[in-house]
Amino acid sequence: MFAKATKNFTKQIDPDGCLIPVSRLNNSDKLDMLSLVIKRNPFWFWQRPRYLPTDFTLSDVLLGEAIRPDVAESDFLKYEGMYSDNLAGKIDAGLGRVGLNLEGKGSSKLQSSFGHLKKQEVDVQNLLFASRDRLLNLDHCLVQQTREKRNDVFGVLKERIFTTQPCSITQEVMGQGSCGAVFGLLGPQDVQVSVRENGNMEKDSNVSMEIPPHTVIAYSIIELEVKRGGQYELCLQPDTLGGFEADSAEADPLCISPLDVVLVDGPMAAGLRDELLIPGNAPLSILDEHLQKLKAYLQQLADLPAPTRSGLFLLLKRVLADRAALGALDAVLDERCRGGTPDPGDPEQSPSLKHAVRDLLEILQLNRQDPIQAGGYKSQDSSPLTAAYLLISAMEEMSDVGLAQLEWFCSPPNLKALNSLVSRLLVGGECNLQDPLLSSLVGEEAARRTERLFLSSNVELRTERGRLRAETGPQPGLLPLVMCVTIQGLASLGTGQ
């Protein structure tokens, strides 16, 4: 709820700027002026950079005297945001001979009363002067660990926005509906209101969170370009990207295969993401070219030994609708694919999350000491490790509603039929509803869930003269692509279940 409120805040006041919302309340204490923040560039182009506050400031990793920044503090604004969605939906469509006529209504309110906010800014010209001829301590453990990870970049906190008084965040959800079948109302807040057949149901919830004063809710950074000898430059322009200079021209890079449209090299990610945004009102076949480049990864999943494939499929089926578990699995595979060895016993994880991470490491044989078994693959782009990360990262990009619908399809006949449907839509943009391979989808429950799954990924299904067509909705983003990757990946694992 805190992350949603801060994200809404930055969208409202700085939609195209550099403000970064604070995603965890616990990170507020780490965000002092000139604090070091690690920007982790994405591994796959559909991901966004992650910002990891550290316990250190720039002065902590410099040789010589500390830098004492000139900081200006000013009143920023008084902020009270109310985000209300009055949702109404009706479906009058179907697959095959199955017709649906369903209606529902609901509302969701997220109120953020941050009150009077203040802003602190570093005098950048003063910082630039103070940084002249200064050197980073290359022996500092944080510098060494960050330098080893080629996609990690140092950023220095130059601006922060914080609360000045106790404030609150409140989320209220109300829903009601009636229909002749089960219907789930979808909305931007991923609130689901379920209605039983020939009945009515109301669902209300009200959650409030108290935020203390001096809580940082947003900040911005200046990236550092670090030279081999420890000299550094401030990246003052938004399009100037930081990073560590390679020790030699032959430095071992993250393996980039011919699949570089998917697996990206740090700063390339943002450009690729913008370049590959899917146009609206286009046939689903527009994705086929991109998905062809993923066949090698998906084949890796299908070629796993049967026990490994079965174990991974059952684990992902178990955590499919658990956003926290998916995030934990995504994080551990991200660390592994970058050559790190994350601790599966993270103290901030709940016992169930630790159990899921341990299961994943055991299934992929990543908890052994042997370098071949422990993720030390010679070719990262052809390893089961990277293939599993591809699937889990795509799952995490899907909406909560989409994952909830996909959970129902995780049985052999349903998953096979869903994958057949996607494959046919990718090839020609439409398919024949009488196709025997789609028989599992011809039924009221399957038809409803199929339509909701595609709709949650901004893809609209239309029937005309016995044929089913799929088109992207307006501004679909990358959701149609990650949905197809997820379905085909799970189908690759589900073979023989």
Tens-digit pLDDT profile for residues 49-73 = 889 999 999 999 999 999 998 999 9
Stretches where the chain sits below pLDDT 70 are 81-112, 171-207, 247-277, 340-350, 366-382, 495-497
For 72-129, the pLDDT digits (tens) are 999 988 877 655 544 333 333 344 333 434 444 444 456 667 888 999 999 999 999 9
Q: Are residues 226 and 330 in the same domain?
A: no
Q: Are residues 89 and 187 in the same domain?
A: yes
Half-sphere exposure at residue 389, Cβ-oriented, CA atoms within 13 angstroms: 26
Q: Are residues 26 and 129 in the same domain?
A: yes
With DSSP H G I counted as helix, E B as strand and the rest as coil, what are the percentages for the chain, rounded to 5? 35, 30, 35
In a domain, 413, yes or no: yes
Give the other-Cβ count within 10 Å of 30's Cβ: 19
In a domain, 122, yes or no: yes
In a domain, 204, yes or no: yes
* Number of domains forming the structure of the chain: 2
Range of the domain at 286: 277-497
> Strands (DSSP E) along 190-312, which ranges?
194-195, 199-211, 216-226, 232-235, 243-244
Beta-bridged to residue 171, according to DSSP, are 110, 207
Q: Are residues 68 and 136 in the same domain?
A: yes
Give pLDDT, residue 200: 42
Distance CA 318, CA 486 (A): 15
In a domain, 362, yes or no: yes
Q: Are residues 303 and 445 in the same domain?
A: yes
Among 221, 244, 267, the domain boundary falls at 244
Q: Are residues 287 and 427 in the same domain?
A: yes
Query: Residue 145 in contact with residue 37, Cβ under 8 Å?
Result: no
In a domain, 249, yes or no: no
Give pLDDT, residue 183: 32
In a domain, 252, yes or no: no
In a domain, 254, yes or no: no
Q: How far is CA 260 from CA 123, 239, 290, 487, in A?
A: 40, 21, 11, 22
Token look-up 């660390």 returns 335
In a domain, 255, yes or no: no
